[in-house]
Amino acid sequence: MSKPASTLALPPIDQVGFVVSDLDQAVARYEALYGPFTFMDAEVSGADFHGHKADCRLRIAFGHSGPLEIEFIQPVEGESPHAEFLAGGGEGMHHLRYRVDDHDATVALLAELGYASVWSKRLDETTAFSYLERDGDPLVIEILQMPT
């Protein structure tokens, strides 16, 4: 039997991620609400994506609504959950992120609720991320362990 969500003791959501097909257009549309934005070109190599190693390039913009980070992600090339989302006809809210102290323990707890990792990478001893999904639930959860 799985644990009720109240026993997970997750921290507050710190980011809402949106997948977009055109980053510049999205930033122009939402600058007044969440700007000013900062930008990053990201290359993720050797991430575990649906059980195999995959590389991708992403364009990312970060804005804020109070302490909540608003992230817009445009897939540029390669395999990622973001490219998969767009290919499936989606553009819009994609994931919620929780920043945690222990990535592996949190992923294990979420597995008890039916969540499975679809994209993950451990960068070093103190930094790791996973995108988690569960059957019948369109919401993706990101777990991030990273020093502040």
The C-alpha angle with vertex 55 and arms to 124 and 60, in degrees rounded to 5, equals 80
Q: For residues 27 and 112, what is the distance between their CA atoms, to the nearest angstrom?
A: 37
d(CA 22, CA 144): 25
**Measuring CA to CA, which residue among 87, 132, 77 is closest to residue 107?**
132
pLDDT tens digit string along 23-61?
999 999 999 999 999 999 999 999 999 999 999 999 999
CATH number for domain 11-145, candidates 3.10.180.10, 3.30.70.1450, 3.30.70.2740, 3.40.190.10: 3.10.180.10
pLDDT for 104 beyond 60 = yes
The pLDDT value given to residue 132: 98
Looking at beta carbons, which pairs linking 119-123 to residues 24 or more positions away fall under 8 Å? 119/47, 119/48, 119/49, 119/50, 119/80, 119/81, 120/47, 120/48, 121/44, 121/46, 121/47, 121/48
| pTM of the predicted model as reported, rounded to 2 decimal places | 0.92
Nearest to 129 by CA among 15, 5, 7, 8: 15
What's the pLDDT tens digit per position in 63-75? 999 999 999 999 9
**pLDDT score for 6:** 54
pLDDT at residue 5 greater than cutoff 80: no
- Domain layout of the chain by residue ranges: 11-145
4 pLDDT higher than 60: no
